Amino acid sequence: MGIYINPGNEGFRVKRNDTYIDKSGLIGVVNQTIGKKSKLSCISRPRRFGKSYAAQMLCAYYCIGCDSAPLFDDLEIARDAAYREHLNHYNVLQLDIADIIGRATLDGFISFITKVVSNEIYDIFPNVKHADNLADALMNAVEASGRKFIAIIDEWDAPMRDSDSTPSIQKAYLLFLRSLFKSITITDKVFAAAYMTGILPIKKDGSQSAISEFREYTILKPGMFAPYVGFTEDNICALCKEFNIDMNQMKFWYDGYTIHGVGSVYNPNSVMRAIESREFQSYWVATSDPTSLLEYLNLDKEGLGKTLVELMIGKEVPLDTSMFRNDPASLKTEDDVLTLLTHYGYLSYDEDRETVRIPNEEIRREFARSVHRVTHAETIQRVKRSVQLMKDTADMRADAVAAELQKVHTEEYSSRYYNNEQSLRGTIKLAYFVYRDEYLQLEELAGGTGYADIVYLPKRNSDYPALVIELKALDKSHPQNNAEGAIAQIKSRHYPDILKNYTNEILLVGISYDKDDPEKKHTCLIESWQA
């Protein structure tokens, strides 16, 4: 056995020794492609969504020279009719391209692969004929052993994503892949199947035609691999029960990736880290490039600043993915940026509605952390205005608060939707969109004898007061729906009572605007609550 040729099952054995979620059904999906035109599969997933884990599982299952039955006999795949037919039946070529680049260099990783893999072939198959290139060496190994290869290539797109990569490096790499997977003669003779993973799909402009024979299964359209994208709701329920973990907290922090036909999908790495540490927090920054999100939020694309605000307050936004060229270096529109962020796992795509949103609290915190460091002028201005609004509210500068809310209301809502019941509520959320630095936002909070429209509850380390906000739309038929009436309702229905055990520093904020006024003048009244 070698490192790259027939590496055995030790990697998967270690995984089985830890807490294990059975995803072995994926093997059955790959088995269905063996020997067919669809035998070359390219799977794109965000970081830490189990790509390397799946590669180790497949390697253990297919690799000849080891007995993996004890690792699989109790799993889902063992109930598959073809389970024994393919178990430990193939030579395996396993390449982790990102790891190889780390071992070699970006300039020399292709020659490194050719050298070390060829040497392993000659060591494992001593009677094989030597060849001038890796493709021929693999073909000679098949002839010598009488068994085809299963290719398992992890992080295939690492050279495409590396900031130090050049067009010449990428071209050479694609030619290398072409030598293995483009030639019908070599591919059909050498490979029974190939399973290739990465973060980004194959480019659509033809420059990656070296791997155009691969069938693609992306995070946007995972197809038959959908059940194996991440942890499902059933997986999480079982884990929470086993480890006595709060399911609601797990859902709040790590749920939110919606896969057509599967439903909720959770980030496996973050879930397991939370279970191991018994602490809910963001594990994203520890496993991803912390600058990548900021880099894309800084791009000067029309509408991106406004869309960022909408995403951060929890809105879904429409997304057209059709024009994305799968190339981080050539982003032309806002939709391109949002599609890329979806592939990276920062956004969740709803295939039915063709919308994206920030999936969960873990990713919301990454957005909140990044938004204060953007250099894009539109976003900077929106952040400054929101921060100032929070300060004006805390300092009880009611006129300044009213002026900013009127400005946001006018900017964000057309006349058609301006007087919609939800438009003023949406205005508040848009205007206070940086609230996550200091507050938890609660809507329709039950308190006293009713429900407060919006409550901003300060975090434990915040110096800001709690805000109880009541919204009113004033017109001729409802003259009492003014700021004073809003404050009166807060008091008469005792909305702040639910907060008094949490904090004594509470501001009552009444906000209204006049529907009959052509200028839609907004008014605000702020009072300090006294128990």
Got the DSSP string for 416-464? Answer: HHHTSTTHHHHHHHHHTTTGGGTEEEEEEEEETTEEEEEEEEEPTT--S
Note whether 26 and 62 are within 8 A (CB).
Answer: no
Question: Is 424 among the domain residues?
Answer: yes
Helix (H) or strand (E) holding 286: none
* pLDDT at residue 290, as a whole number: 42
Question: Is 370 among the domain residues?
Answer: no
Question: Is 435 among the domain residues?
Answer: yes
Which domain-ending residue is among 203, 228, 253? Answer: 228
What residue has token string 């037919």? 85
Q: Who's near 233: CB < 8 A, 6+ residues apart?
A: 255, 263, 264
Helix (H) or strand (E) holding 393: helix 377-394
Question: Is 148 among the domain residues?
Answer: yes
Distance from the first to the final alpha carbon of the chain:
75
Provide the domain count of the chain: 2
Based on its alpha-carbon atoms, the radius of gyration of the chain, rounded to whole angstroms, reads: 28
* pLDDT at residue 395, as a whole number: 94
Question: Is 224 among the domain residues?
Answer: yes
Q: Alpha-carbon distance 60 to 17, whole Å?
A: 14
Which domain-ending residue is among 228, 247, 267? Answer: 228
0.85 surpassed by pTM: no
CATH number at residue 172: 3.40.50
Give which of 352, 364, 50 is closest to 225, Cα–Cα. 50
Would you call 218 helix, strand, or coil by DSSP? coil
**Domain interval for residue 68:** 10-228
Question: Is 47 among the domain residues?
Answer: yes
* pLDDT at residue 18, as a whole number: 87
Say if residue 311 is exposed, middle or buried (CB neighbours under 10 Å; 0-12, 13-18, 19+).
buried
Question: Is 360 among the domain residues?
Answer: no
**In what order do the strands lie in the sheet containing 149-154?**
91-96, 149-154, 191-198, 40-44, 215-217
Residue pLDDT tens, the chain, 531 long: 789 999 999 999 999 998 889 999 999 999 999 999 899 999 999 988 888 899 999 999 999 999 999 999 999 999 999 999 999 999 999 999 999 999 998 999 999 999 999 999 999 998 888 988 999 999 999 999 999 999 999 999 999 888 788 889 988 998 899 889 877 778 899 999 999 999 988 876 566 666 778 999 999 999 999 999 999 999 999 999 999 999 999 999 999 898 888 989 999 999 999 999 999 999 886 555 544 777 777 777 778 888 888 888 888 999 999 888 777 777 888 999 999 999 999 999 998 899 999 999 999 888 888 877 777 777 788 888 999 999 999 999 999 999 999 988 888 776 665 666 577 888 888 888 888 778 888 887 766 566 778 889 998 788 899 999 988 887 777 777 788 988 998 888 888 888 877 887 899 999 988 877 777 789 999 999 875
* pLDDT at residue 80, as a whole number: 95
Q: Give the number of other CB atoms < 10 A from CB of residue 343.
A: 23
Question: Is 257 among the domain residues?
Answer: no
Which domain-ending residue is among 193, 228, 263? Answer: 228
